[in-house]
């Protein structure tokens, strides 16, 4: 897959103008059909396929990364739950063990 150089400052700008043009393509210029396969290939090529527990990373793991980074940067769970389209309970269930570690310095 290669990146097509476009005269826009950000992906947000491309989305706002509703650009009707392929952005992510294979080296042949074709559109990838299975994004999961493209993601796996990129992870292998970059040496990041396995996480710390030895499991393969998936596209869905990016959701976990996003949530973890948002919590680490101080986004509250109510805002995060709304933004991610899930419940506060679900955020608490999956990330409650992470937030105390992130706030250890504040709590000390």
Radius of gyration of the chain (CA): 18
In a domain, 51, yes or no: no
Same domain, 73 and 101: yes
Q: The pTM is what?
A: 0.57
The lowest-confidence range among 1-5, 48-52, 97-101 is 1-5
Question: What does residue 97 show for φ and ψ, rounded to 5 degrees?
Answer: -75, -20
In a domain, 103, yes or no: yes
Residue 34 CB neighbour total at 10 angstroms: 8
Q: Which residue has the higher pLDDT, 45 or 8?
A: 45
User: What is the C-alpha separation between 108 and 106, in angstroms, rounded?
Assistant: 6
pLDDT tens track for 54-90: 999 988 888 888 999 999 888 999 999 999 999 999 9
- Could you tell me the residue range of the domain that residue 97 belongs to? 61-107
User: What is the C-alpha separation between 70 and 78, in angstroms, rounded?
Assistant: 12
Measured in whole angstroms, how far is the alpha carbon of residue 16 from the centre of its chain? 20
In a domain, 54, yes or no: no
Measured in whole angstroms, how far is the alpha carbon of residue 29 from the centre of its chain? 25
């Amino acid at each position: 897959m290669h990146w097509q150089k476009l005269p826009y400052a950000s992906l947000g700008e491309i989305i706002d103008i509703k650009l009707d043009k392929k952005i992510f393509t294979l080296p042949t210029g074709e559109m990838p059909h299975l994004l999961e396969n493209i993601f796996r290939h990129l992870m292998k090529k970059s040496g990041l396929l396995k996480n710390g527990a030895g499991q393969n990373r998936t596209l869905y793991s990016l959701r976990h990364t996003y949530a973890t980074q948002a919590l680490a940067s101080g986004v509250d769970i109510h805002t995060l739950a709304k933004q991610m389209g899930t419940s506060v309970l679900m955020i608490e269930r999956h990330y409650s063990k992470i937030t105390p570690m992130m706030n250890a310095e504040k709590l000390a």
